[in-house]
């Protein structure tokens, strides 16, 4: 069966520090992968999506970047965190065929201090 | 700009009653509409998907309707139980940007005994 792993679960980082969040998927190949952020009191916001290795599309301009170095690995990064980067970051993948919903990871709670 | 509104931030109902949650959208022509459940500190879990040419979809105690004329989806939980207490998210997928989901802020449902 397919599973999605995301780590770390929580992270407290100072302003100006770098960030790297990792997401891996098991049990599937060539998945569509997504990074979402959920800020306090707001809905999930799509940040990046990828349909294959090295293929990244950005939804909104921001202080973050994403990379997909391997088929089942998706990384979210920042060179210098801002306070506004705090939030709940979720990785998701979608199975083959558009009739399926997303499978989300367990999320990373990032607090920038 | 696109807007997805869920009728209220919170809904409280008594166990055994039917919970009805509303999702309204503007400036969209969604190809698919999805509903997710999210528990505190966890990633959303996919519940149901309905296509634009479908009026209704059911799964056990859950029912979703989709009215593209009214630009509205209704999500029903019949015979509600305290275990149904969670935040429910509506998400739309446009035909022009298949694979990308846009979420509402969610409705927090509390079912009391």
Q: Which residue would you say has higher pLDDT here, A104 or B3?
A: A104
CB-based contacts of A99: which residues, under 8 Å, 6+ apart?
B49
Burial class (CB in 10 A: 0-12, 13-18, 19+), B22: middle
The answer to whether the CB of A107 falls within 8 A of the CB of B42 is yes
- Find the closest chain A residue to B87 by CA distance: A43
**Minimal C-alpha gap between B64 and chain A (Å):** 14
Q: List the end-to-end C-alpha distance of chain B, in Å, as a whole number.
A: 41
Give pLDDT, residue A99.
Answer: 67
CA–CA gap between residue B5 and residue B107 (Å, rounded)? 10
Q: Work out the average pLDDT over A35-61.
A: 89
Give pLDDT, residue A59.
Answer: 85
**Contact assignment for B101 to A102 by CB distance below 8 Å:** yes
pLDDT band at A40 (very low <50, low <70, confident <90, very high): confident
pLDDT band at A94 (very low <50, low <70, confident <90, very high): confident
CB-based contacts of B24: which residues, under 8 Å, 6+ apart?
B4, B5, B6, B7, B70, B71, B72
CA B61 from centroid of its chain's CA atoms:
14
Give pLDDT, residue B8.
Answer: 73
Token pair in block for residue B44: 């959303």
Give pLDDT, residue A97.
Answer: 63
For chain B, residues with pLDDT lower than 70 are: 1-2
Q: Which of A40-44, A45-49, B54-58, B100-104 has the lowest mean pLDDT?
A: A40-44
The answer to whether the CB of A91 falls within 8 A of the CB of A50 is no
Give pLDDT, residue A108.
Answer: 96
Q: A34 contacts in B (CB within 8 Å)?
A: 100-101
**Contact assignment for B43 to A32 by CB distance below 8 Å:** no
Token pair in block for residue A70: 């391997």
Task: Bin A16: left if φ > 0, else alpha if -120 < ψ < 50, else beta.
Answer: left
Longest alpha-carbon distance in chain B: 44
| A108-112 and B3-6 strand pairing | unpaired
- Find the closest chain A residue to B91 by CA distance: A44
Give pLDDT, residue B96.
Answer: 73
Neighbours of B95 (CB within 10 A): 11
């Amino acid at each position: 069966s397919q599973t999605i792993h995301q780590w770390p679960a929580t992270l407290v980082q100072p302003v100006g520090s770098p960030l790297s969040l990792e997401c891996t998927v098991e049990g599937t190949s060539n998945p569509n992968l997504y990074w979402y952020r959920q800020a306090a009191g707001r809905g999930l916001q799509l940040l990046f999506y990828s349909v294959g290795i090295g293929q990244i599309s950005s939804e909104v301009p921001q202080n973050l970047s994403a990379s997909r170095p391997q088929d089942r690995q998706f990384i979210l990064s920042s060179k210098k965190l801002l306070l506004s980067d705090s939030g709940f970051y979720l990785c998701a993948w979608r199975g083959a065929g558009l009739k399926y919903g997303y499978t989300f990871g367990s999320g990373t709670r990032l607090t920038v201090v | 700009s696109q807007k997805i509104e869920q009728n209220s931030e919170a809904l409280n109902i008594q166990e055994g009653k039917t919970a009805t949650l509303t999702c309204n959208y503007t400036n969209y022509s969604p190809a698919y509409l999805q509903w997710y459940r999210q528990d505190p500190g966890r990633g959303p879990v996919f519940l149901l998907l309905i296509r634009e040419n479908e009026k209704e979809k059911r799964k056990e105690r859950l029912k979703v309707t989709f009215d593209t004329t009214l630009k509205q989806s209704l999500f029903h939980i019949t015979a509600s139980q305290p275990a149904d207490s969670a935040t429910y998210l509506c998400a739309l997928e446009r035909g022009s940007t298949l694979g990308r989901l846009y979420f509402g802020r969610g409705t927090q449902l509390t079912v009391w005994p």
